[in-house]
Amino acid sequence: MRISTTLTCLVLCGLVAAIAPTLRSQDGKPAPTAPPAASPEAANDPSAPIAQHAALARFEGDWTVKAKLFLEPGAPPQETKGKSEFKMLFGGRYLREKYESTFQGVEFEGLGLVGFDKARQTYVANWVDSMSTGFALSDGTLSADGNTFEFKGTSTDAATGAKVAFRWTKVWKDADNFVFSAFESRDGQPEVLTMEFAYKRKPEAKKSDTKKK
């Protein structure tokens, strides 16, 4: 079974995901952990960002991406590279991702948005891109240890109209590296891995010394 073009496009950039706050890992770099508890004032104000929103801010910055796309069962994955920019919007309420790459010789752009819906008590994500006309909507959760984020949703195959269940995970390796994995399932069959993206945070540009000697 060939992986659907629609779902491939929708998940190509790995759908923006919430990021956990950080601790110190064994290699000396911060490692993710669960977000801190929200203040009572923020928890009682339906418009105020809380700890789950603060977790998203940890993801801000520029990233390089190495992607593997498993388009045919048993065949070697296709590989591509991209770049991604994450930025918080509206006073820390939403995380936006802008992604650019080349896929099968075609320039690709994607835009994702994720937030935490306080009314529903769940993370919610949306994704659109230059190779589809649909919206990828999904709900997500953060693991208790703060290392794994998981989103689940359903898309429509543009070629056949069939419903495709998808699942996305993001797993932190350290403060500057995480892996996004995409899975899909059709007609009740076991899910299969369709994509694997390795994100690496770009080092901050060194500021030039403007002091006069």
How crowded is the C-beta side of 41, counted as CA atoms within 13 Å?
0
pLDDT, tens digit (0-9, with 9 covering 90-100), for 131-179: 888 888 999 998 888 788 899 999 888 788 888 999 999 888 999 998 9
**Residue 75 scores a pLDDT above 80:** yes
Q: What is the value of pTM for the model shown?
A: 0.75
Tokens of 40: 């009572």
- All structural domains of the chain: 5-201 (2.40.128.20)
Mark residue 138 as left, alpha or beta (left: phi above 0; alpha: psi -120 to 50; beta: remaining). beta
Q: What percent of the chain has pLDDT over 90?
A: 48
Tell me, what's the pLDDT at 205?
A: 54
Tokens of 181: 């994995």
Quote the CA–CA distance of 49 and 94 in Å, as a whole number: 9
Beta-strand relationship, 94-103 and 192-201: unpaired
Confidence of residue 16 (pLDDT cuts 50, 70, 90): very low
Tell me, what's the pLDDT at 133?
A: 87
Tell me, what's the pLDDT at 71?
A: 87
pLDDT, tens digit (0-9, with 9 covering 90-100), for 76-112: 999 999 999 999 999 999 999 999 998 778 899 999 9
